[in-house]
Structure formats: C-alpha cells, structure tokens
Structure 1
Amino acid sequence: MAHKEQTSDDPTTGGAPRVAGLLLAAGGGRRLGGRPKALLRHGGRPLVEHAARVLREGGCDPVYVVLGAAGEQVRRTALLPGCVLVDNPDWSEGMGGSLRAGLQALSGAQAARGVEAAVVCLVDQPGIGAAAVARVRAACRSVGSLASAAYDGRRGHPVLLGAAHWEGVVRSARADAGARDYLRERQDELALIECADIADPADIDTPDDLHRLG
C-alpha cells in the first residue's frame, strides 16, 4: 500500500479536537458498467474533487483519499490539493478493504499525530455537503467518540470514528459492510446526528442514478 500527499497550503480548523477526513473513492462502478465513481463528472470536474472538498470545508484536516479502480488516472486528472492519497490494491474487495487501508494509513502517519477521530465519507453521495460533515464532526469529544449521520432516524454517512475505535474497525471491516457490524455492536455508544434537513444520502450506484450529478 502506498500513499503520498499532493502539495498545497493546508487550512487549519483553528481548534481542538483535530478530526481527519477519510474519503473512500476506490470503487470500480461495476453496476455503472465499469465506470470508476471517483471519475464521474460533477460540476464539470471529477466527483472525487467535490467529495474531498466537502470534507475539508466541513472542518476535516488532514484529508485522506483512498483510491483503487483507475487510481493512476484519478491522480493524473483530479485536483486534490493537500490530500493524502492512499492506494488500495484490494479495492475490488469492497468498502471494507478501503476503510482498512485508510485507517491504517492514518494510524501510521506522522502527519496525523494528534488526530482524535476521522469522519468517513463515500465518494458517490454528492448530496452530502460540508454542512453535514461539520455537524457530524462536531460530535467528536474524545478519541472514544462514535457518531453517525442519520436520515429520519436511519443511520448513514458521514460516520465519525474516534481513534480508539480504528483498530477494532480495521479488524471487523469486511467486503461492502464497512464499519456496519462494528457500529451495530456498539449502538449504545453511537450518537445519531440527524442530517435529513441539510443533506441527501442517495448514492450513485446505477445508470438511473446519474441524474443526481450536476
């Protein structure tokens, strides 16, 4: 697994706790005919740019982006200033592999020292903006925090994982379940942050969903 940082001046959140952003953008778009989701066009630019910007504008720093399908093409075409790019060679395994790759990279990075939590977003949910990220991010109280956006009471993304949970999530993340099993087992600790008033969690999964892109 390799990762590197695209250079730029990094903004600061201006206060504690420090919360990283983790964008899962490795999917190959199998149900989209093999069109990698990171490279779908949104606002005239690759969708991955929009999603990474949402995390940064929502107060996350640093921002890690996990790439997989067409990773080299994403690196060549997407502008991701200040983001740490993480390669997931096992991207075809599903979301679980990308979540493990991102959290492991965060755990081992000098640049991430002092980070108390990570807000996890998916690249294919363009209706989730910086306001929802900021609202979930604000639920961080310590490395033990655990929170998730909710939409009319139903758990969704973004998800906030306190650093004390990263090792457990890495052990449990499998296939497309991501952190689902880990969160289910700890639902008594999980803060649900209602976001239906400010975000739309619909994802881009099939050609019928492409109308959600601008």
Structure 2
Amino acid sequence: MSVGVVLLAAGSSSRLGRPKQLLVHGGKTLVRRAAEAAVGAQCGPVVVVLGAQAQAVASELAGLPVHTVHNAAWEQGMGVSLRVGVRALDPAAEAALVMLCDQLRVESGHLRALVEAFGRTGSPIVASGYESARGVPALFSRAIFPELEALAPDEGARGVIARDSSRVVEVALAGGGEDVDTTADLSRLT
C-alpha cells in the first residue's frame, strides 16, 4: 500500500506574528518535529508544502528524506497548499496523509494508526478524532483527491471530512485539537 504524506507548512501564522513552523518546542522547530513524525510513520514519500519563509523553513528539514514543494500562492490559503501537495504526490499513491506542523500531540505512532485503519477498513477517509470533532491528521484515499483539489483557497480539509460521515473512520487522538496559534499556546502545551 502506497500512502504519501502532505505536510502543510506554508502559512505565515498571522495570528502569531511570525512563522509558527520555526517555533522551537522540545529543542526542535515545529516543522522539523512534524516532518520527523511523518518520516517515522514509515509511509511516504513525505511532501512538505512551503510558502512563507520558505528558505528558512526548508533549512529546518536538512538531512530528512522529504521532498519540498513551493506554493507560490500560499497567501491565498490552506486550500491552495493542499492542492499543491496532493498534486506533488507520486501518481501511484493510493492515499494522502495530510498533516499540519503545529499539532504537538501528533506522533509517528498516531500516523501509523491512521494508515493501519485505512488498510484494515478501506474507508475513503480516516480522520483523527478529538474534542468531539474530526480533523487532521487525516488520510484521504485517491478517490477523495478531486474533492481536496476543488477546495476554495481559504478552506481546509475539515469540510471534506464533515461532508459525509458514513465514509469516515475515526482514530482517537487525545488532545489533538490543541494547536499552536500563539506563544502562550506553545507554553501551555509544553
């Protein structure tokens, strides 16, 4: 089974005032932590979508077996980055595992659990379940790629997940809804 990873790391983090990808947690930048988790999930290839501060973010990925792609229209929103990432995957990929770099509770083991649930159930979407919601990291079968590519520029994958619950399998992720939008979030989640 071929599952590619799309790590979204293109935003400017306007609420934070600086790129959250470069914030340090546990001695590593958030983008490096997320990329290491993706590589540790033992699927791939791992595609990292860059945009704001692309050169600085790319330098944090040095030595990791990841492929970076640049989203020149990153300012338009996450939907554009998803489209760029999905299109950069190997055409043989059966699914895309979409993740963000600011979810500190996401580890390789959780990503592997998503892939295992996909292999076991064949469900077109396997989403993380947290705080009575479903979201990313989430795995989308190739059949769902057209929906991801059709997202409006300012939309994320959550709408695709919510569209039809009958096609979603959920894998619990305790605290998964906690992400980093402010420096206070980073301190609180430490």
TM-score by length of 2: 0.89
Distance 2:93 2:14 in 1: 34
1:165 aligns with 2:165: no
CA distance in 2, matches of 1:143, 1:170: 21
Among 57, 61, 64, which residue is 2:47 paired with? 64
CA pair 206-192 structure 1, distance change in 2 beyond 3 A: same
* 1:152/1:180 CA distance change after superposition, 3 Å: closer
Displacement after TM superposition at 1:166 (Å): 0.7
Q: Which residue of 2 aligns with 1:82?
A: 65
- Residues 121-157 of structure 1 show CA distances to partners (whole Å, capped at 9, x for unaligned) of 1011122111211111112238862110101542122
Partner of 1:30: 14
Amino acid at match of 1:135: A
Instruction: Give the whole-Å Cα distance in 2 for the aligned partners of 1:212 and 1:120.
Output: 25
Gaps of 5+ in 2: none
TM-score of the two chains, using structure 1 as the length reference: 0.80
Taking the aligned partners of 1:132 and 1:21, their CA distance within structure 2 comes to 13
Which digits, 9 at most, give the CA deviation of each residue in 1:36-65, with x for residues without a partner? 122111232322111011112122211010
RMSD: 2.0
Change beyond 3 A, Cα 1:121–1:134: same
CA distance in 1, matches of 2:10, 2:188: 20
Q: Secondary structure at the match of 2:117?
A: coil
Shift of 1:24: 0.4
Question: 1:139 maps to which residue?
Answer: 117
Contact map agreement 1:59 1:137 (CA 8 A) in 2: no
Moved >6 Å (runs of 4+): none
Equivalent of 1:41 in 9, 18, 24:
24
Aligned residues: percent identity?
36
Q: Does 1:188 align with 2:166?
A: yes
Counterpart CA distance in 2 for 1:75 and 1:191 is 33
Alignment deviations for residues 136-188 of structure 1 (CA, whole Å, 9 cap, x no partner): 1112238862110101542122110101211221012430x312222222221
How many residues are treated as equivalent by the alignment? Answer: 189
Q: Structure 1: which 5+ runs fail to align?
A: 1-16, 107-111
